[in-house]
Amino acid sequence: MDLRRLVLDTNVVLSALLFPAGAVSWLRRAWQSQDVVPLASRVTTTELIRVLHYPKFRLTADERGDLLAQYLPWCEAVDVSNAPAVPACRDPNDRPFLELALGGRADASITGDADILALAPSFAVPVLTPAELRDRR
């Protein structure tokens, strides 16, 4: 199974960016070497920018810009305005990631979010944890 075009949820991206020695640091190297192509929509990018402003991260504007520069240039922008209908999800904030997976014809959606993982058995796009993705590559 070719798992190249990926939807990465915000927490996965944050983990890859903020923790260079962490469990998903390999994913940053994978997108920067173009082994994988993260998909991004206007809504998912806005969400990432919003979360980077959380006070708990204590990031300066320059640090936020540097982190975004380590991610966004490798992303493929996807217009999800014509995305197919997505299944009902327990958390409505997860809907944009489901729309991106379907509208962007993703090979997989990568998440640790229990609400999205719960949809895995019936969702049209494979839903994997970062560890499952690593094991399949």
Is the pLDDT reported for residue 26 higher than 80?
Answer: yes
**CATH number of domain containing 55:** 3.40.50.1010
Entry pTM? 0.94
Specify the number of domains making up the chain: 1
What domain range includes position 110? 5-136
The pairing of strands 108-110 and 5-8 is: parallel
How many other CB atoms sit within 10 Å of the CB of residue 112?
15
* pLDDT band at 88; cut points 50, 70, 90: confident
- Render pLDDT for 55-77 as a digit per residue (tens, 0 to 9): 999 999 999 999 999 999 999 99
